[in-house]
Amino acid sequence: MLQQPAPKNLNELVFEVSRRRTFAIISHPDAGKTTLTEKLLLYAGAVDLAGAVRARKNQHHATSDWMELEQQRGISITTAALQFDYMGYRINLLDTPGHQDFSEDTYRTLMVTDSAVMVLDSAKGIEPQTKKLFQVCRLRHTPILTFINKLDRPGQDPLGLLDEIEQTLGIGAVPMNWPIGNGPTFKGVYDLINKQVLLFERTEHGQRRAPVQVHDIHDSALAGLLGEIEYRQLVEETELLDAAGASFSREMFLAGEVTPVFFGSAINNFGLESFLRALIDFAPAPGPRASDQGMIEPDHQDFSGQIFKIQANMDPMHRDRVAFLRVCSGRFEKDMLLHHSRLGRKVRMPRAYRFFAREREIVEEAYPGDVVGLANPGLFNIGDTLCSGKLIKFDSIPRFQPEHFCILHNQQIAKYKQFNKGLEQLEEEGAIQVLFLRDSLRKEPILAAVGELQFDVVVARLKAEYGVDTSVERLPFSCARWVECGPGEENGIIWPMSSKLAQDRDERLVVLFQSEWNLNYCQEKNPGIVFKELG
C-alpha cells in the first residue's frame, strides 16, 4: 500500500513536502548507476529525459583522455539533480558523479540527500567505492535501499550477497523480492511483500517497459513456465525465507539500521517498477535540518536553503558559474530577496534555474527537497545558507583534508589573467585549494587536493575552458594544517626540516608536512600552537 501525500487542501506547503522524495545513487563505477537512472526515468514516463541520459552514456565511448575526464564530470555538467514525477510524487534524483578517485562533489551531495539507493553488481558484491560512500551515508543515518543489479549475468548466490552486505557494511539486509533463476535462466522475481511471482519478458535493447506476468506461487501453470526443478527450488527458497521471517521495519530503515534489498536487471527492465514504487513508499519525505538555531522543519513558512555545489562554465556559451541550492524549508520563489547568512547582507535571486541535460529552465517556485541552480557571480561558497525571515545558518558541510600537492605552472605567461581567473573559479567549486609558498621566489600557485585526479581535471579544464596550457609538478607533501598563533608567536615555532610554509588567499599561514609523523612531531614541539584542519 503506497503512502499517500498529505491532502492538497490542508496546506500547500505541507502537501508539497509530503510528495517530495530526494535521493542519490551510490555505487562503484560500472555497477549500473547510469542504466538504473535511465530506467527509473523510463518507468516514470520521463522518456525524453531517458534519452538525455543515454546520449551522455554514448559519449562514454569517445576515447581521448580529455573526453574521459569530460565524461567523469559530464554528469555534473548536465545535471545536479534530475526531477521527475511518478504517481503524484515529485522525485529529485541528486547526481553523484562517479570516478575511481573519491569525489568531494559526491560527498557533499550525500550531505543534502534524504535517502540513497545503493546499486551492487550481483557478480561483484560490495566494491571499494560503494563501501566508502556507504560509510558517508552511515554517518548521517541516511536510509538506504539496495538494488542488486545484473541478475541476467551469472552472479553470486543471493543469500551470500545478503550476508556480504550485513558482514561488510554492518547493516541488516532484508530481501523484498527473490530472484528466480540466475544469469541466462533469470526469469523474474518472487515479490515477498505481495507474495506474487513476477515473470518478465525481455524487450529489444530494454527500451520499453518489460511486460510482466503475475502469478500466485501455487499457480499450477508455474511449473510449466519455470521448469519443474526451478519451480521446486523457488517454492523451497520462499518457504525458507518465510520461516526465517526477516521482516522489514520502516522505522529501522529510516534510522539507517536495515536496508530493503531488491534483485533485478536494470538493462532488461526487470524488477524496476516495484523498485520505483518501493522507493516512493519507503523513502522519507524531506525532514528537518540542523542549524545554529536548532532543527529547521521543512514546512516552516520561512524559506531556507543551503548551497552544496558550485560549477563554473555550466554553459560554455555563457561561461557562467552556477551555485546549486537545496531547498530546506518554505517555498522558494523567483525574485526573492534573501539573507545571505555568511555575508550578512540581503541578495536578490532573479535567476534561478533547473537543468535538464544541456537545457535550462527558469524556476518560478521550488519546495523542500528540490534543487535550484543560482547564477553565481562569485557570491556563494559551498555550505552557505540563504533564508528569509529569521537569520539562520545550517551546519557546515565538512571538507576532506587535502592529501596531494603540486605546483601548477602556467606555460603561457601572456595568459596570466585567464590563468588566475580560471584557478579562482575552479577553487570556488571546492575540488582544489590554492596556496602560495611563503618566503620563496617561486610565486606559482600550489594546488592541494583530496584526489590526484583533480590535478588532471584542473589542467584539462584550464585548457578547455580558459584556453591556458599548464603543467603540474608533484610535491612530496601529504598533509596541510592551518596555523593559529598570536602575533609574534610564529617566529618561535619549531618546524620539521622537511615542512614548508605557505599561505592561502586570505594570507592565513598554512604548513605543509611530508607525513603524519612530521605533523605529530611539530604539534609536540609547539604545544601552545593550534594546527587546524581545513574547515
Q: Is 33 annotated as contributing to ligand binding?
A: yes
Q: For residue 27, give the nearest of 109, 123, 122, 134 by alpha carbon.
A: 134
Helix (H, G, I), strand (E, B) or coil at 524: helix
**Grid cell digits, residue 150:** 545484473
Q: Shortest distance, CB of residue 31 to ligand G4P, whole angstroms?
A: 5
Q: Is 506 annotated as contributing to ligand binding?
A: no
Q: Does 33 bind ligand G4P (CB under 6 A)?
A: yes
Q: For residue 398, give the nearest of 535, 207, 262 by alpha carbon.
A: 535
Q: Does 209 bind ligand G4P (CB under 6 A)?
A: no
Euclidean distance between CA atoms 74 and 68, whole angstroms: 9
Euclidean distance between CA atoms 88 and 41, whole angstroms: 14
Q: Shortest distance, CB of residue 82 to ligand G4P, whole angstroms?
A: 14
Q: Which of 76, 149, 433, 499 forms a contact with ligand G4P (CB under 6 A)?
A: 149
Look at strands 89-94 and 20-27 and give their pairing.
parallel
- Nearer CB in complex with ligand G4P: 127/230: 127
Q: Is 29 annotated as contributing to ligand binding?
A: yes
End-to-end, the C-alpha distance of the chain in Å comes to 45
- Nearer CB in complex with ligand G4P: 56/90: 56
Q: Does 41 bind ligand G4P (CB under 6 A)?
A: no
Q: Which of 31, 280, 322, 423 forms a contact with ligand G4P (CB under 6 A)?
A: 31
Q: Does 18 bind ligand G4P (CB under 6 A)?
A: no
Q: Shortest distance, CB of residue 28 to ligand G4P, whole angstroms?
A: 7
Judge contact between 326 and 351, C-beta under 8 A.
no
The overall longest dimension of the chain from CA atoms, in Å, is 88
Site mask, ligand G4P, residues 252-281, x = CB under 6 A? -------------xxxx-------------
Stretch of residues binding ligand G4P (CB under 6 A), selected from 30-38, 173-181, 390-398, 448-456: 30-38
Q: Does 34 bind ligand G4P (CB under 6 A)?
A: yes
Q: Shortest distance, CB of residue 121 to ligand G4P, whole angstroms?
A: 8
**Grid cell digits, residue 379:** 557570491
**Grid cell digits, residue 202:** 525481455
- DSSP class of residue 218? T
Q: Shortest distance, CB of residue 416 to ligand G4P, whole angstroms?
A: 38
Euclidean distance between CA atoms 223 and 486, whole angstroms: 81
Look at strands 500-503 and 432-437 and give their pairing.
antiparallel
Q: Is 298 annotated as contributing to ligand binding?
A: no
Q: Does 16 bind ligand G4P (CB under 6 A)?
A: no
Site mask, ligand G4P, residues 104-143, x = CB under 6 A? ----------------------------------------
Judge contact between 327 and 338, C-beta under 8 A.
no
Euclidean distance between CA atoms 181 and 302, whole angstroms: 53
Annotated binding site: 27-34, 95-99, 149-152
Q: Which residues make up the interface to ligand G4P (CB under 6 A)?
A: 27, 29-35, 57, 149-150, 152-153, 265-268
